[in-house]
Amino acid sequence: MYFFIEPMRESDVPRVQEIERQSFTTPWSATTYLRELRSPEHSRYIVARYSHARPADQLHEPEPRRNWITNLLLSRFNASAPPSPYTVVGYGGIWLTVDEAHITTIASAPEMRGYGVGELVLNGLIDLGLELGARFMTLEVRVSNVVAQNLYLKYGFEARGTRKRYYTDNNEDALVMWTDDIASPEYQGRLRQLRMLLADRLRRQEEKGAADAQRPN
């Protein structure tokens, strides 16, 4: 199996909402997503797509100036691009406020959890923040969502506050998590190490998927 990141398109919204309904008790409306996609100056959204094998346009090695994990992100954001033949299995978005990139949403399809999709999307959002000139990343997460918190902690997010009764479905508190300067040499060094590990994990999954596909039934 092969996962890759692309800008979210308007045609992706129905699938994104399907994953969102499986992931959140208060999903965003299609209208909200379309409004966000049509305001790329301050908000950006990406999707993780799935393919049984590496697509033809992904076979080349990324240019040196591009990051291996988001080699398509530097292409122009075109929300009205034609539909992709590859299934959306995760997504995420950010808002930019001055020098802060706020992660508004991030989720992966339930059947693809445990394969690194959420971590791949998080990396894409960090790259988007850097591309937009952000120095810090921030987000809210349910106090009960320990799995998500552990992923964020891994990538340098720290809990620095609490929003009481933030989630309207059950009045649960939210932890407010922040990174240090994502453009700093220290953070970039940490990011490189984590990405090497993620790249190896995804590569091994891809190789296993290819081997499994070649086995006789």
pLDDT(66) > 80: no
Share of the chain above pLDDT 70, in %: 88
> What pLDDT shows up at residue 52?
82
- CA atoms of 5 and 28, how far apart (whole Å): 21
- CA atoms of 147 and 125, how far apart (whole Å): 18
Half-sphere exposure of 40 (CA within 13 A, CB side): 14
- Is 140 marked active-site? yes
Each residue of 160-187: pLDDT tens digit? 999 999 999 899 999 999 999 999 999 9
pLDDT(53) > 80: no
1: Cβ–Cβ under 8 A, 6 or more apart, which residues? Answer: 50, 51, 52, 115, 205, 206, 209
Domain boundaries, the chain: 2-214
- CA atoms of 39 and 137, how far apart (whole Å): 20
Of residues 123 and 55, more confidence is placed in 123
Each residue of 5-44: pLDDT tens digit? 999 999 999 999 999 999 999 999 999 999 999 888 888 9
Note whether 130 and 182 are within 8 A (CB): yes
> What pLDDT shows up at residue 63?
44
Mean per-residue pLDDT over the chain, rounded? 88
Selected catalytic residue, list 140, 166, 167, 172: 140
> What pLDDT shows up at residue 64?
39
pTM for this prediction: 0.89
Nearest to 137 by CA among 118, 158, 119, 117: 158
- Is 2 marked active-site? no
Question: DSSP letter at 4?
Answer: E
Selected catalytic residue, list 45, 152, 155, 187: 152
DSSP secondary structure letters along 103-154: EEEEEE-GGGTTTTHHHHHHHHHHHHHHHTT-SEEEEEEETT-HHHHHHHHH
Return the CATH number of the domain spanning residue range 2-214.
3.40.630.30
- CA atoms of 16 and 156, how far apart (whole Å): 27
Q: Which amino acid is at 10?
A: E
- CA atoms of 125 and 106, how far apart (whole Å): 9
